[in-house]
Amino acid sequence: MTTIVSCFLANSNNRGDRKTDKYVDYGKKLLNVNNPKIIFIDDSLIDLLINSKEYNKENTLLIPINKNDIYLYEYQNHITDFNIITDFPNKDTLEYMFIICSKTEFMKKAIEINAFNTEQFLWIDFGINHMLKYDDKEFEEKIINLTTLEYYNVRISSIKDPNIENLDKDIYRQVVWYLAGTVFGGLNESLIKFADLVKEKCLEIIFDKGSLMWEVNIWYLVLLENKDLFDTYSCDHDRSVITNY
């Protein structure tokens, strides 16, 4: 058995085409999947979702959170040179980086809680169906299929050839889509190690560079230094992110 883990904080992704209510609609599709789930949800939305009839309550643990629960906010005064290159400055804010770089920490918390007593855990971005565009039935079937797969290492999506180590981008300022970032999973012990390495790398960059960047950039750096921890699979930002898992 595998526990699905996800997180959603309201107003963390300032895009005109995806408002909070739209993300919640996408997220309800994940909440309705008939599989154990631990979902960290913005405390401003928790009552709305708890009272909703649109998800499977028997195997879903909703945990209210707010941005103050993210450890990276403790270090924001050390970030003095946040100067990334992006086409979406309203979205790619420092606060957004704090949130996405905390995916592994929320995974670690879910593993520590382990409400459904599983050894396998699977992170799925809360609004993933905005990209997949499955109908409700097919979406659930695809996600349930993922939970039947087991990996010892961190199973993680790779958009580029896993052997590529030389990038033509500034990894501290430009997004590097070596990894997709949307889905990762595996054995609890491997995922806890991953989370600890990500936290270590985030703090290293904060203190050495006075900055932070996308979680996929952090993960790439961790992967380069810990290749034996990972089991990559090829995909793109489309349905292959779950069909190839």
Alpha-carbon distance of 211 to 116, in angstroms, equals 37
For the beta carbon of residue 80, count every other beta carbon within 10 angstroms.
10
Residue 45: pLDDT band (50, 70, 90) is confident
Task: Please tell me which residue, 14 or 63, carries the higher pLDDT value.
Answer: 63
Which CATH number do you get for residue 238? 3.90.550
Quote the pLDDT of residue 120.
Answer: 98
Q: Which domain holds residue 146?
A: 2-243
Alpha-carbon distance of 28 to 21, in angstroms, equals 11
CB burial readout 208-229, b (16+ within 10 A) else e = ebebbbbbbbbbbbbbeeeeeb
Count of domains for the chain? 1
The model carries a pTM of 0.94
Task: Yes or no: say if 214 and 175 are a contact pair by the CB < 8 Å rule.
Answer: yes
Q: 124-170 pLDDT, tens per residue?
A: 999 999 899 999 999 999 999 999 999 999 999 998 765 566 667 89
